[in-house]
Amino acid sequence: LSIKPKFAESIINGRKKYEFRKNAFSKKNIGRVYIYSTTPIKKVIGFFKISKIIEDKPINLWHHLKDEAGISEEDFFDYFKNREIGFALEIVEVEKFENPVDPKIMFPNFVPPQSFCYIKLGRAPGLR
C-alpha cells in the first residue's frame, strides 16, 4: 500500500489501527500488507496483517472507528469526498523494518502504486 509518511508512521507506532481505502482488494488471501511510505521517504518501512475489512458508508466508518482511525475528521472526509462506500482495514501484527527497503532495488522498474499493488514474495528479494 502507498501511504503518506505521517500515516505510515502512525501505523508503525500503533496509533493508527485502521487504514482507509476507497476500493477493496479483489484478492482475499492477502498475507501481509507492505507499507510503502510515499515522498519524501520512498521506501517500504514495514508491514502489517489485516484482521478484517469493514465495508460501510464513510459516515458510519467514522462514527465507529474515529477513536482508532489515526486521521483527522477533516482528512477522513476529504479522502472519502463524493464516495458512498468506503473500506477500513483493521491493522494487526505491525512490524517495522530495521532498515527500510528501497523497492527499486527489488524491482528495477518499480512505479509507486496509486493505491496498492500485489507482489509475490518469491519475486521480492529483501522482503520476508
By residue range, what is the domain housing residue 97? 2-122
Would you state the cell numbers that stand for residue 64, as one nine-digit string? 465507529
- Phi then psi for residue 94, to 5 deg, are -80, 135
Query: Over the stretch 5-27, which tens digit does the pLDDT of each residue have?
Result: 999 999 999 999 999 999 987 77
Q: What is the pLDDT of residue 19?
A: 96
> For the chain, what is the domain count?
1
Query: Over the stretch 43-75, which tens digit does the pLDDT of each residue have?
Result: 999 999 999 999 999 999 999 999 999 999 999
Q: Is residue 25 part of a domain?
A: yes
Q: Is residue 127 part of a domain?
A: no
Among candidates 91, 99, 92, 108, which has minimal Cα distance to 127? 99
pLDDT at 40 over 80: yes
Q: Is residue 11 part of a domain?
A: yes
What pTM, to 2 d.p., does this model score?
0.86
Q: Is residue 128 part of a domain?
A: no
Question: Which CATH number goes with the domain that contains 7?
Answer: 2.30.130.30
Would you state the cell numbers that stand for residue 17, as one nine-digit string? 489501527
Banded pLDDT at 99 (limits 50, 70, 90): very high
